[in-house]
Chains A and B, each alone.
Chain A
Amino acid sequence: MQIFPFVVVVWILAVGLYGIVTSRHLVHLIVCLIVVQSSTYVLLLAVGYKTGAVAPYFFDVPLHTPAVDPVVQALALTDVVVEAAVSALLLAFAIQAHKRFGTLDPQELAQLKG
Chain B
Amino acid sequence: MDQLPVLAVVVPLLAAAAISALSKLLRGRRRLLDGAAIATSAAVTVILLVLLSRTAQGDVVYWFAGFRPSHGIAIGIDFAAGSLSTGLAALAALLVTAAMIFSWRYFEQVATYFHAIMLVFLAGMAGFCLTGDIFDLFVWFELMGVAAYALTAYRPEERGPLQGALNFAITNSIGAYLSLSGIAVIYGRTGALNMAQIGQDIGRHRPDGPEGLVVVAFLLIIAGLLIKSAIVPFHFWLADAHAVAPTPVCVLFSGVMVELGLYGVARVYWSMFGQALGHRPVITSAFVTLGLLTAVVGALFCFRERHLKRLLAFSTISHAGMFLTGFALLTPLGLAGAALYVAGHALVKASLFLCVGIVLHRLGSVNETALHGQGRRLRVTGVVFTLAALGLSDLPPFATFLGKGWIEDSASARGLTWVIVVVFVGASVLIGGAVLRVAGGVFYGLGDPPGEAPEMAREASEETSETGQGRNRTPRSMIVPAAVLVVAAIGLVFVPHLGPAVEAGAVRFEDQAAYNATVLSGVRVAHPVAIAPAQSTGITVADVATGAGSTLGGLVLAFLALYWRRLPGLRRGFEPGRGLARPIDRFQSGVVNDYVTWIVIGLACLGGALAFSIR
By a beta-carbon cutoff of 8 Å, the part of chain A in contact with chain B is 9, 13, 17, 20-23, 26, 29-30, 33, 36-37, 39-40, 43-44, 47, 71-72, 75, 79, 82, 86, 89-90, 92-94, 96-97, 100-101, 106-107, 109-114
A93 to B592, alpha carbons, bound, how many Å? 14
A44 to chain B, nearest CB (A): 5
A-facing residues in B180-226 (Cβ within 8 Å)? 180-181, 184-185, 187-188, 193
CB-CB < 8 A to B193: which residues of A?
A: 71
- Find B181's partner among A22, A40, A72, A107 (CB 8 Å cutoff): A40
- Taking CB atoms, residues of chain A closer than 8 Å to B170 are 20, 29-30, 33, 90
With a CB–CB cut-off of 8 A, which chain B residues contact A106?
A: 163, 591-593
Q: Is B370 interfacial (CB 8 A cutoff)? A: no
User: If A26-B166, A43-B184, A106-B593 touch, does A113 touch B153 (CB 8 Å cutoff)?
Assistant: no
B166 contact from A71, A75, A90, Cβ within 8 A: A90
- In the assembled complex, 29 residue pairs joining A and B whose CB atoms fall closer than 8 Å, in A order, are A9-B181, A17-B174, A20-B592, A21-B600, A29-B170, A30-B170, A33-B174, A36-B174, A37-B177, A39-B177, A40-B181, A44-B184, A71-B187, A82-B142, A86-B142, A86-B146, A89-B150, A93-B153, A93-B166, A97-B163, A100-B162, A106-B163, A107-B591, A107-B593, A110-B589, A111-B590, A113-B160, A113-B459, A114-B458
Q: Would you list which residues of chain B between 367 and 395 have a CB under 8 Å from chain A?
A: none
The answer to whether residues A43 and B181 also contact, given A93-B166, A114-B160 and a CB cut-off of 8 A, is: yes
Q: Does B424 contact A (CB under 8 A)?
A: no
Residues of A close to B459: CB separation below 8 A? 113-114
Measured CB to CB, the closest approach of chain A to B180, in angstroms, equals 5
The 8 residue pairs across chains A and B that have the minimum distance between CB atoms: A110-B590, A47-B188, A114-B459, A113-B161, A113-B160, A114-B458, A114-B455, A110-B591
B596–A40 touching, CB < 8 Å:
no
Task: Flag if A96 contacts B596 (CB, 8 Å).
Answer: no
Q: Which residues of A contact B187 (CB under 8 A)?
A: 47, 71-72
Query: In the assembled complex, which residues on chain B have CB atoms less than 8 Å from the CB atom of A112?
Result: 160
In the complex, per-residue mask of B150-172: 1 if CB is within 8 Å of any chain A CB, else 0:
10010000011111011001100
A60 to B177 CA separation, bound complex (whole angstroms): 35
Interface size, B (range): 35 or more
Would you call B456 an interface residue if the criterion is a C-beta within 8 Å of the partner chain's C-beta atoms?
A: yes
Q: Which of B563-590 contact A (CB under 8 A)?
A: 589-590
State the Cβ distance, A113 to closest chain B Cβ, in Å: 4
Partner of B163 from A20, A43, A110 at Cβ < 8 Å:
A110
Rounded to whole Å, the gap between the CB of A108 and the closest CB of chain B is 10
Docked Cα-Cα span, A84 to B188, in Å, equals 25
* List of B residues within 8 angstroms of A82 by Cβ: 142
Per the 8 Å Cβ criterion, residues 269-322 of B in contact with A are none
Please measure, in the bound complex, the distance between the C-alpha atom of A89 and the C-alpha atom of B154, giving whole angstroms.
Answer: 12
In this complex, what residue of A is CB-closest to B149?
A89
Which chain A residues border B149 with CB–CB below 8 Å? 89-90, 93
Known pairs A17-B174, A33-B173, A113-B163 / 11 extra A-B pairs, C-beta < 8 Å: A23-B593, A36-B174, A47-B187, A93-B153, A94-B166, A106-B163, A109-B163, A110-B163, A110-B591, A113-B162, A114-B160
Q: A17-B596, A20-B593, A89-B149 are in contact. Are A47 and B184 (CB under 8 A)?
A: yes
Q: Which residues of B contact A94 (CB under 8 A)?
A: 166
Count A-B contacts at CB 8 Å.
Answer: 105
Q: B interface vs A, CB < 8 Å?
A: 135, 142, 146, 149-150, 153, 159-163, 165-166, 169-170, 173-174, 177, 180-181, 184-185, 187-188, 193, 455-456, 458-459, 589-593, 596-597, 600
Q: Choose one: A21, A79, A89, A100; the contact of B593 (CB below 8 Å).
A: A21
The smallest beta-carbon distance between B177 and chain A, in angstroms, is 5
A36 CA / B596 CA spacing, docked (Å)? 12
- Residues from chain A with Cβ under 8 Å of B135 in the complex: 75
Determine if A20 and B596 form an interchain contact, defined as CB atoms under 8 angstroms apart. yes
What residue of chain A has the Cβ atom nearest to residue B166's Cβ? A93
Q: How far is the CA of A110 from the CA of B166 in the complex (A)?
A: 11
Nearest-CB distance from A111 to chain B (Å)? 8
Residue of A33, A43, A109, A113 with most chain B CB atoms under a 10 A cut-off: A113
Q: How close is B267's CB to chain A, nearest CB, in angstroms?
A: 20
Q: Are A90 and B593 in contact (CB under 8 A)?
A: no
Assess whether A100 is in contact with B177, with CB atoms less than 8 Å apart: no
Q: Which of A92, A96, A97, A114 has the most CB of B within 10 A?
A: A114
Q: Do B185 and A43 touch (CB < 8 A)?
A: yes
Give, as a whole number of angstroms, the nearest-CB distance from A86 to chain B: 6
The CA-CA distance from A13 to B184 in the complex, in Å, is 14
Complex Cα–Cα for A94 and B185 (A):
33
- Distance, CA A20 to CA B185, complexed state (A): 24
> Which residues of B lie under 8 Å from residue A75 when comparing CB positions?
135
Contact in complex: A40, B162 (CB < 8 Å) = no
CA distance A114 to B164 in the complex (A): 13
Give the CA-CA distance A94 to B592 in the complex, in Å: 13
> Which residues of chain A are within 8 angstroms of B142 by Cβ–Cβ distance?
82, 86
What CA separation (Å) do A101 and B166 show in the bound complex? Answer: 14
Residues of chain B within 8 A (CB-CB) of A114 are 160-161, 455-456, 458-459
Instruction: Give complex CA distance A47, B153 in Å.
Output: 37
Choose from B165, B181, B455, B458 the contact partner of A93 (Cβ within 8 Å).
B165
Chain B residues near A90 (CB-CB < 8 A): 149, 166, 169-170, 173
Which residues of chain A come closer than 8 Å to B162, judged between CB atoms? 96-97, 100-101, 109, 113
CA distance A30 to B412 in the complex (A): 47
- State in angstroms the CA–CA spacing of A40 and B159 once bound together: 35
CA distance A16 to B177 in the complex (A): 12
Once bound together, how far apart are the Cα atoms of A3 and B101, in whole Å? Answer: 55
**A99 CB, nearest partner CB in chain B, Å:** 9
Q: What residue in chain B is nearest A101 (Cβ atoms)?
A: B162
Residues in chain B near residue A40, CB distance under 8 A: 177, 180-181, 184
Minimum CB distance partner of A87 in chain B: B173
Report the Cα distance A82→B180, complex, angstroms: 14
B559: min CB distance to chain A, Å: 29
Instruction: Known contacts A22-B593, A43-B184, A89-B150; decide if A36 and B160 are in contact (CB<8 Å).
Output: no
Q: What are the residues of chain A within 8 A of B163 when measuring CB–CB? A: 93, 97, 106, 109-110, 113
Q: Which residues of A contact B188 (CB under 8 A)?
A: 47
Q: How far is the CB of B245 from chain A (nearest CB, A)?
A: 13
Residue of A40, A47, A111 with highest tally of chain B CB at under 10 A? A40
In whole angstroms, what is the CA distance A84 to B560 when docked? 53
CB of B396, distance to nearest CB on chain A (Å)? 40
A-side contacts of B589, CB under 8 Å: 110
* Cβ–Cβ < 8 Å partners of A22 in chain B: 593
Q: Find the A residue at minimum CB distance from B159.
A: A100
